[in-house]
Amino acid sequence: MGKRGPRSVFDDAKFEGRRTQDREEVFEANSDKSKAAFQAYLGGFRLWWRCCPAYLLSIGVKPEGSYGKKNHTGGKMFSLPGDINLTERQASRILWKCYKSRDPWLTIDQIKLVMKTLSFSYQVQGGTDTKTQQWAKVLRTWKHCTVQTQLCALVVSMVLRIPTKIFFLTVR
């Protein structure tokens, strides 16, 4: 007896396209990942398109839904080598553009989702740094983003701590 509920695209993932050792290794590694991991990657990918669609088109990233329909995301985003071809500079520019976008609803947790998706792109393209599993330039950009965020949080907390007099009204 199998699992309960409807089958997901993750359950129906099948290897398609040209068979190379690199693609097969990444496919097997993706099969070991959880559905929650792929949901996080997809959330970050959608944030890429929300924050910098013109830049993504200019560097050749395909929009959501234009990948192989039988991959681990149901064709919504890349998941195999050859689906995406980012350089280290392009990856750091994606993070920077998402961070600097004027989207008022973008939170630091959403920027972390962008980072997770960039890490996944590094793994898909055959990144070899097993310690960080991330582009080196993206990590340098992230340090600047977190410094700016900490400064912003410090200013907000200083503003919130302005001493004021509190008056209580008593009704007689």
pLDDT at position 154: 44
Domain that holds residue 141: 21-160
- How much is the pTM? 0.76
The Cα 118–Cα 44 span in angstroms is 8
- Counting the structural domains of the chain, the total is 1
pLDDT digits (tens, 9 = 90+) for 83-116: 889 999 999 999 999 988 877 778 888 889 999 9
* Mean per-residue pLDDT over the chain, rounded: 79
**Does 149 score more than 80 pLDDT?**
no
Does residue 34 lie in a domain region?
yes
Q: Please report whether residue 1 resides in a domain.
A: no
Q: For residue 31, tell me if it sits in a domain.
A: yes
Structure tokens of 91? 């990856």
Q: Provide long-range contacts, Cβ within 8 A and 24+ apart, for 25-31.
A: 26/79, 26/80, 26/81, 26/123, 26/124, 26/126, 27/79, 27/80, 29/123, 30/71, 30/72, 30/79, 30/80, 31/72
Q: Look up residue 123 and give its two tokens.
A: 């793994």
